[in-house]
Amino acid sequence: MSQTQPPPLRYIRYEPSREDEYVAAMRQLISKDLSEPYSIYVYRYFLYQWGDLCFMTVDDSRPEDPIVGVVVSKLEPHRGGPMRGYIAMLAVREEYRGRGIATKLVRMAIDAMIARDADEIALETEITNTAAMKLYERLGFLRSKRLHRYYLNGNSAYRLVLYLKEGVGSMRTSFDPYAAPADARLEMSGAAGVPAAPAPPPLLQGNGR
């Protein structure tokens, strides 16, 4: 074996028992590309519920900081309708980019979702992030809508969607798909702005009674 040949990268699934080690590395990797970090609760929200849909790339040649790529996802019924996978975060260390690591991670996440009977997969990506868009479009995602000034930095996004089964588009959702706040429908007869983000859950409003 040649000495210059780096050891191959390993791809592993997230392991809850090693949370301290993994989450810290993951946060560092993901926060690097963000102007404002996600709180620890965001990581826990995903990892505690869908840790098996989180994958990491490990480079053993750098034991002090081995994790060089990560994908974080979730999978749940979308408004009571189709099983929708959602790719929340994807990051690869800068010097490891261009080697297909991100594609491999996303494929692992998608394959895991398919194994769990996903009907569709959705995600958002900044419109300036052409590398990410190319990656997902190569995998068969289509842009379904453009989201104006979606991110805190004022940049817009595309929602990218992949159908995995026929008939997903006509699947019935349990409540009016257009009335839900996350995708707020425009009731133009009311003269007030609809917040882009969902309204607080009913629990908060019932407080103190």
Partner 1 sequence: MFPNSGASAPTMRVTSQSVVPRDITDEFTEAASKLSTGQLVKDEYFTLFEAVGALEIMDSKMDSGFLGPNENHAQALEDDYDITRELAPEEVVGIMDGLLCHEMAWHMGHPLSQTLFTSLYLDRLLWPVPNTLDEARFTRGSADGRNEEPALVNLVLRAYCMALVKCCDYVHARVAAEYYYEEEDFVTQLYNRNLLSPFDLDPFLDLLDRAAAWIEEQQDGINEEVRAAIKLRIEFRRDLLLGLYQDIDVIQNRSSDNFRACLSRLSDLAQSASIGKPVPESFSWKVQRRLASTVPPRPMVNISQDDALAHLKRLCQDGIDLQEILDYRGPHNFKVAVWTMLSRKPQPSVYIRSLLQTLIVNNALVLGVVPVRDFLYDELAELVLPTSILLQANTDQTEMPSNPRFQIAQHMDGFVKRFSQPFVDTFRSACLNRCRIRRTVCHTLVDWDNLQMEAEDLDEQLRTLSDEPPLILSNGDSTYSYPFSSWAYHQKLNQFRLILQLGFELSIYSPEELPGMYWYLSHICSTHLGHLDRIRTFTVATAKRNLTALAGKKRDAVERHAVLQKSLRLLERLSTQVVAVDAFAISLHALYVLLDRHHILPTASSPQAYSSERLRYELRMKPFLPITLPELVPYDDYRREALLEGDSDGAVLERATKAITEARKAWETTLANGAFSPDQPTPTTPAIEEDWKKDVKDTMRACIGTSLAIESLKKGLAMRNTSKGSSPDGPSVDLRVDIPEVGSKARFHDWWAVPQISHNTLRSKT
Q: How far apart are the first and last CA of the chain?
A: 72
- Residue 1 or 152: the one with the smaller Cβ distance to partner 1 is 152
25 Cα distance to chain centroid: 17
Would residue 15 be called left, alpha or beta, if left means φ above 0 and alpha means ψ between -120 and 50 degrees?
Answer: beta
What is the signed CA dihedral for 43, 46, 84, 13, rounded to 10 degrees?
100
Q: Which residues contact 132 (CB under 8 A, 6 or more apart)?
A: 90, 102, 125, 126
- Residue 116 or 134: the one with the smaller Cβ distance to partner 1 is 134
CA distance 130 to 110: 20
- Residue 4 or 35: the one with the smaller Cβ distance to partner 1 is 35
Q: How far is the CB of 69 from partner 1 (least distance, A)?
A: 15
Q: How far is the CB of 176 from partner 1 (least distance, A)?
A: 10
- Residue 10 or 148: the one with the smaller Cβ distance to partner 1 is 148
Q: How far is the CB of 139 from partner 1 (least distance, A)?
A: 6
Q: How far is the CB of 164 from partner 1 (least distance, A)?
A: 7
Main-chain phi, psi angles of 14, to 5 degrees: -60, 140
- Residue 52 or 126: the one with the smaller Cβ distance to partner 1 is 126
- Only one residue has tokens 């007030």, namely 192
The number of C-alpha atoms within 13 Å of 187 and in the hemisphere containing its C-beta is 10
Q: How far is the CB of 105 from partner 1 (least distance, A)?
A: 14
